[in-house]
Amino acid sequence: MNKIWIIIKREFLTRVRKKSFIVTTLLLPIFFAAMIILPGVFISSDNDEKVAVIDESGYFAGKLPDEKGIHYTFVDAKVDTFKKSYRNQGYTGLLHIPKLDLNRLPAFVYYSKGQMPFSLRGSMEKRLESVVEDKRMEAAGIDKSKLEDIRADINIENLAGEAEKKGSSTVAYIVGWVAGFLIYIVLLVFGMMVMRGVMEEKTNRIAEVMVSSVKPFQLMMGKIVGIAGVGLLQFIIWTGIMILLNTLLLPLLGGDTEVAAGTQMSGSAKFTEQIALAMASIDWFTLLPLFLFYFLGGYLFYAALFAAVGSLVNEDPNDAQSLTFPITLPIIVAIIIMIQAVVNPTSPLAVWGSIIPFTSPVVMMARIPYGVPGTVPYWQLGLSMVSLIAGFLGTTWVAAKIYRTGILMYGKKVTLGEVGKWIFKKS
């Protein structure tokens, strides 16, 4: 045990002291935050469009207000003449509205230098449709105010479990997706890290020196556990960064949380309140320990197999690609099942995918945010955990058989048939 601990310490400290570890640990949370925040910022950012409008119908004057950087100016001119000079007058586009038959609408034409921006098209079509609908209701003698009163806005409030805790399927979907995807990344990235580490030691002949002092199984387990410690440290740091950002940024986003009597809460304050209520719908005391279990269980399940593959590879990198395919294929299948599981967490595919150890670390984490034991019964969770532990013990036994022979074999291309013989060969 002391020898395994020495190897664990060496693997852990060697990787933690690298600059790449520090850079990755600090930049990855920023990268994920940017992936979430920036698309919303870009979508909500204002346009800079100055649109000239020639309205031959007479229906739209004063009905196209400026919004989100889109400025409409009605001009009295002939289309054929004005479309040649609108850019010289500072307009980015020209909207031509022909004479209308409200029952059979003709094509509206937008002239521009390049393709019409997607956000501009959506905003403009929505505005034009609203005006036409109003005109049609007016022609039919329909009172728009009464129609607005008739329309219903139904909001379903979900109270889950015997405690009738308020839930949010949207938040469960997002948290399940993120948790499952993180496990998927862990299995691939850290599994490959184990394989590369074994390959480097084998090709550099370091393994020959090390196995003279320790058993191959001790060397393999030390490497696996040491790299697991690196991943665990990164997740602890990332969790701390997330808590810190949550503590510092939410008050800034929400502004002044005190709302005077009779005044309306600001949009940012409402947004902050909605986030707080949504996050409260997740049982974090259940989610976080289970995430840690499936993170470690899934990593240990696959890391042993990746270490075995690393011990089989010699100088030819193509060997690694062909040998890792049978290992990475179940991980890819897991992310495919997860996509279905976050939408329908009680489907048979999601249930069995969360129990079978080859896919359970990814799929089960997609189901857990929907509720335990509501959506995920205790028997399914227990069976999944026991299966993963048994699977880890099985893959470790298989990997140890392969690793013991493969780590000292050089200059020969190994076939899967030979690997099978090593597995069933008696010690």
CATH number assigned to the domain comprising residue 62: 3.40.190.10
pLDDT digits (tens, 9 = 90+) for 188-197: 888 888 888 7
Bridge partners, 50 (sequence order): 71
Low-confidence ranges of the chain (pLDDT < 70): 1, 32-47, 151-168, 205, 207-209, 211-212, 245-282, 314-319, 408, 410-412, 414-417, 425-427
Identify whether residues 103 and 222 lie together within a single domain: no
Identify whether residues 116 and 221 lie together within a single domain: no
CA distance 345 to 338: 9
User: How much is the pLDDT for 386?
Assistant: 95
Cα torsion at 13, 316, 399, 392 (round to 10°)? 70
* CA–CA–CA angle 257, 260, 265 (5° rounding): 55
User: How much is the pLDDT for 22?
Assistant: 81
User: How much is the pLDDT for 384?
Assistant: 95
Residue 404 identity (one-letter amino acid): R
User: How much is the pLDDT for 314?
Assistant: 67
User: How much is the pLDDT for 264?
Assistant: 46
Identify whether residues 135 and 274 lie together within a single domain: no
Question: Could you identify the residue written with the tokens 């690298």?
Answer: 18
Flag whether 239 is in a domain.
Answer: yes
Boundary residue ending a domain (104, 126, 143): 143
Number of H helices, E strands in the chain: 15, 6
Flag whether 44 is in a domain.
Answer: no
Flag whether 39 is in a domain.
Answer: no
Question: Helix or strand or coil: residue 348?
Answer: helix
Residue 341 neighbours by CB under 8 Å, 6+ apart: 176, 180, 347, 349, 350, 353, 354, 363, 366, 367
User: How much is the pLDDT for 256?
Assistant: 44
User: How much is the pLDDT for 352?
Assistant: 94
Bridge partners, 167 (sequence order): 158
User: How much is the pLDDT for 21?
Assistant: 80
User: How much is the pLDDT for 349?
Assistant: 93
Residue 313 neighbours by CB under 8 Å, 6+ apart: 195, 199, 202, 319, 320, 323
User: How much is the pLDDT for 261?
Assistant: 42
Identify whether residues 173 and 110 lie together within a single domain: no
Radius of gyration, CA atoms only, the chain: 31
pLDDT digits (tens, 9 = 90+) for 138-173: 888 887 777 777 766 666 666 555 555 565 677 778
Structural domain span for residue 239: 169-256+266-424
* CA–CA–CA angle 152, 156, 158 (5° rounding): 170
